[in-house]
Amino acid sequence: MPLAKRIIPCLDVDHGKVVKGINFINLKKAGDPVELARRYSDEGADELVFLDITASSEEREILRGVVEGVARAISIPFTVGGGIRNVSDARLVLCSGADKVSVNTAAVENPQVITKLADIFGQQCVVVAIDAKRRYEQRADKITVKTREGQVWYEVYTYGGRKPTGSDAIKWVLQAAELGAGEFLVTSMDRDGTEDGYDLELTRTVSERVNVPVIASGGAGKPEHFLEAFTDGKADAALAASVFHYNKYPVPVVKEYLRKERVIVRP
């Protein structure tokens, strides 16, 4: 029997408050992380992702007290990312109540950290987050999507979407998988906060190239978008923020829609 698809609310946390923007900018406060976490757990979310979005750019440790508060409020698996640079940072987060750690900037700058984390804590604990953005180029009188080897070129960004790396996202996915990534959280920066739907090409390309779970992220605006992520995008899980934070389509509504479309989801 196929594994159930997972619905995952995301808490983007900036100095203790949940925020949400569009394309990683124009951030607005969206609520208290502990209160939102408790609500999502009670509503039947399958997991929760907590991202301290300014920890890396500010070169500080993650907000341990907030992580502990969220962990006490929920009864579902909990992934924490942002500012995790090494084994010590990961151990601190896991000891604060997280079930998994998410690494992005540290993994790009020091890929071997993926292997170290997987060796010490287990591959299932290591989520590699990838913030990817389409590259564009000027051709004649129009701007077109840049391609490499016949595929759209998605560039990897680090430091909470602030720093372009010049690295190809798909090639980075393959390298990270070999190093021991247990799961990928793939966020389309182009779709983030737009509520126009996930970047299905990006999600599908990653899903077809790796043998570990892939979480689609960036762009969910209605239940149909979750369905597309699971069917066209071939994702194992779908993450969203705005659609849940502002109660447009609560978790139970999304799950009921998916059941009607014969997608296997948990109660």
Domain map (residue ranges) of the chain: 6-260
Catalytic residue check, 190: no
Could you tell me the pLDDT band of residue 151, with boundaries at 50, 70 and 90? confident
For residue 114, what is the enclosing H or E element?
helix 112-121
- How open is the CA angle 128-101-82, to the nearest 5 degrees? 80
Q: Is the pLDDT of residue 60 over 60?
A: no
Tokens 């996915």 belong to 173
Higher pLDDT, 246 or 184: 184
Q: How far is CA 228 from the centre of its chain?
A: 17
What 3-state DSSP class applies to 245?
helix
Of 52, 89, 131, 192, the catalytic one is 131
| CA dihedral over 116, 103, 208, 212, signed as positive or negative | positive
Q: In this structure, which CATH number among 3.40.1160.10, 3.10.20.600, 3.20.20.70, 3.40.50.2300 belongs to the domain 6-260? A: 3.20.20.70
Of 12, 89, 168, 236, the catalytic one is 12
Q: Which of 13-17, 80-84, 178-182 has the lowest mean pLDDT?
A: 13-17
Average pLDDT across the chain, whole number: 90
Number of other CB atoms surrounding residue 84 within 10 Å: 28
What 3-state DSSP class applies to 155?
strand
d(CA 149, CA 147): 7
Catalytic residue check, 99: no
What pTM was computed for the model? 0.91
Q: Residue type for 249, please?
A: Y
